[in-house]
Amino acid sequence: MSAALAQVETHPTAANDVADARHALLHFITCGSVDDGKSTLIGRLLFEANAVPDDVLDTLRTDSAAIGNASGVLDYSLLVDGLQAEREQGITIDVAYRYFATPRRSFIVADTPGHEQYTRNMATGASGADLAIILIDARKGVLPQTRRHSLIVSLVGVRHVVVAINKIDLVGCNEAVVRAIEADYRGAVAALGFEMITVIPVSARNGDNIARHSELTPWYDGPTLLGWLERVRTDRNVVAAGFAMPVQWVNRPDPDFRGFAGAIASGFIAPGDEVVALPSGVKAKVARIVTFEGDLAAAGAGQAVTLTLDRDIDVSRGDVLISAAASAARAATVRTEIVVQLFVTADRSIGAGDSFIVQVGAATASAQVVEVLHATDVESFARRTAVRLALNDLGHVRLRLDRSLAITPYSVLRELGALILIDRLTNGTAAMGIVAADPAEADGNRVVAFRRAAGRTLEYTMGPQWRQEIAPAATWRLGSAVLLGTIVTIVTGNPAWGLAAALLDAALRPLLRLTHRRIWAVLRQRAHRQRDILSDGGGI
């Protein structure tokens, strides 16, 4: 096995990733298949970090004995699994968050369920993580749920992964087994784009390679798990995208002050810099950067500030302020149609014609699913044809918004590229997703572009449910054209005239139908408008 520390010495990017991370807060997640030892691992980390008070340890000894560990071996999973059902079944059901700290770093860890039924809970925990610990049982190797969880953490933007091969004591601490699992996993996730994959063989129950190197694995010369977590750097490049700040609140404490409050998502800003308000596109200059401690001379990504401008412009909650400099053109774009990679989190399936509320940061809009481009197979990560996406499915869909939003691909800026779909009836989260590049635009794929144009034409002529109507419409129009052509042939005795009549009927009938629909739509709109005027007193 290649040692992670050796990689650091020879790879400048990796060396930067393990630079001194003193006092930096690290959000990480543990995930894997059922019974891989996720809760036990977190409990052991808490114990090794001296984050378990004495009274809690006494309770842990009592609880461990109560569930059958009479030998005195502590069940560290009980420090995390707090639900009665979790303790009875020995599985994690809900996401459990724990905070702990070492002299070198502070941590927030999310222990997520491994069962496929609770995959949406795992996705929720992964959405705020900077790093993922993927647990693999040394006896079982890479499982379908291992692949699924790896795909989900890559979906939400996690680029640093620690593969903790757990329960190595149950396979005799065999180096060959660990190396085989490492090769299998690296091959399985090669297409997911992780920046760094660090493999550490551990035994969460016994503490091997958790905080101290184990004598049972002399062949392993890499870091311990806790040591690696203390040193790893997961900083995202928030400068290249240029300055961007989603407006979370318009601050008006008195008539003389109007500021726009939010957390800077990327880049830097200083008084005098020119900014553009999206989606309106109106420009202004920053007058002050206001904070609770006083005005700042400059502010950067991660800081929560209130910006005042040199003139009054229309900016509301959900709008985005970006730098007017040409170099910041990638910070955000105003769009009404986007391609989104979705993970379905509700029992309701998602397909063409469905309508939701889409939320990107503080901004919301009505969104309609134009088409399901494809689904992603969790076994092979290959694309497959799909009409609808069901619970726990992953896939790409095209959304059309009822108003312009400032949006950026997730790979450029997380804060403006992550979204959720909200069910209009239940107000629950139907899906979570990230903004992806449009296949027709990103790949220059003419086939995709043609399909998109054809879909728009069919939607325009037949309505949003054209996929359901196209088959009966085609057979009806074909039958009508054949009948008309036959009649003309019989009457004229000329098959050429019959063929011309059939083709003309097939071509003109959709146009006549579209004209008919548009005329009646205008008449209905006028009727509704007249009724509204009468009902509200003519607008007086």
Angle, to 10 degrees, between the axis of helix 119-126 and the axis of helix 144-155?
Answer: 40
The whole-number pLDDT of residue 538 equals 37
Give yes or no for a contact between 202 and 225, defined as CB atoms under 8 angstroms apart: yes
CA-based max dimension of the chain = 102
Angle, to 10 degrees, between the axis of helix 466-492 and the axis of helix 495-535?
Answer: 140
Give yes or no for a contact between 421 and 431, defined as CB atoms under 8 angstroms apart: yes
345 pLDDT above the threshold of 80:
yes
- Neighbouring CB atoms inside 10 A of 521's CB total 10
Shared domain check, 481 and 420: no
Q: With bands split at pLDDT 50, 70 and 90, how would you rate the model's confidence at 260? A: very high
User: Structure tokens of 228?
Assistant: 């690696």
418 pLDDT above the threshold of 60:
yes
Q: What is the mean pLDDT of residues 424-439?
A: 83
Tell me whether residue 448 is in a domain. Answer: no
Q: With bands split at pLDDT 50, 70 and 90, how would you rate the model's confidence at 412? A: confident
Tell me whether residue 252 is in a domain. Answer: yes
Tell me whether residue 459 is in a domain. Answer: no
Highest mean pLDDT among 55-59, 83-87, 268-272: 268-272
326 pLDDT above the threshold of 60:
no
Tell me whether residue 458 is in a domain. Answer: no
Shared domain check, 157 and 173: yes
409 pLDDT above the threshold of 60:
yes
Q: What is the mean pLDDT of the chain?
A: 78
Burial 160-199 (b: 16+ CB within 10 A, else e): bbbbbbbbbbebebeeebbbebbeebeebbeebebebbbb
Which CATH number does the domain housing residue 99 bear?
3.40.50.300
- What is the tally of structural domains in the chain? 4
Domain boundary among 231, 262, 278: 231
Shared domain check, 266 and 172: no
Shared domain check, 180 and 75: yes
Tell me whether residue 456 is in a domain. Answer: no
Domain boundary among 385, 411, 443: 443
The whole-number pLDDT of residue 423 equals 93
Considering only residues 219 and 86, tell me which one the structure prediction assigns the higher pLDDT: 219
> Among residues 155, 123, 101, which one has the least CA distance to residue 376?
155
pLDDT tens-digit series, residues 286-296: 999 999 899 99
Domain boundary among 278, 295, 330: 330
Shared domain check, 93 and 205: yes
Q: With bands split at pLDDT 50, 70 and 90, how would you rate the model's confidence at 526? A: low
Q: With bands split at pLDDT 50, 70 and 90, how would you rate the model's confidence at 521? A: low
Shared domain check, 387 and 317: no
Shared domain check, 209 and 262: no
Tell me whether residue 504 is in a domain. Answer: yes
Instruction: Give the C-alpha distances (Å, rounded to integers) separating 508 from 306, 505, 513.
Output: 59, 5, 9
Q: What is the mean pLDDT of residues 497-509?
A: 79
The whole-number pLDDT of residue 327 equals 45
Tell me whether residue 453 is in a domain. Answer: no
Question: Strands 131-137 and 320-323, how do they pair?
Answer: unpaired
pLDDT tens-digit series, residues 368-394: 999 999 998 877 788 888 899 998 888
456-462-468-469 Cα dihedral, nearest 10 degrees:
-140
Instruction: Give the C-alpha distances (Å, rounded to integers) separating 192 from 17, 155, 161, 174, 504.
Output: 19, 9, 11, 28, 51
Shared domain check, 265 and 175: no
116 pLDDT above the threshold of 60:
yes
Share of the chain above pLDDT 90, in %: 33
3-class SS of residue 428: coil
> Among residues 147, 154, 103, 105, which one has the least CA distance to residue 131?
154
215 pLDDT above the threshold of 60:
yes
Shared domain check, 342 and 354: yes
Shared domain check, 359 and 347: yes
Shared domain check, 175 and 255: no
Dist. CA 116–CA 391, nearest whole Å: 10
Lowest-pLDDT range of 31-35, 193-197, 486-490: 31-35
Which CATH number does the domain housing residue 275 bear?
2.40.30.10
pLDDT tens-digit series, residues 120-176: 777 777 777 889 999 999 999 998 888 888 888 888 788 899 999 999 999 999 999
The whole-number pLDDT of residue 163 equals 95
Shared domain check, 338 and 323: no
Residue 315: give the domain boundaries.
244-330
Give yes or no for a contact between 15 and 96, defined as CB atoms under 8 angstroms apart: no
20 pLDDT above the threshold of 80:
no
The whole-number pLDDT of residue 156 equals 79
Q: What is the mean pLDDT of residues 505-522?
A: 71
User: Phi/psi at 360 (nearest 5 deg)?
Assistant: -120, 105
> Among residues 449, 469, 447, which one has the least CA distance to residue 458?
469
Tell me whether residue 158 is in a domain. Answer: yes
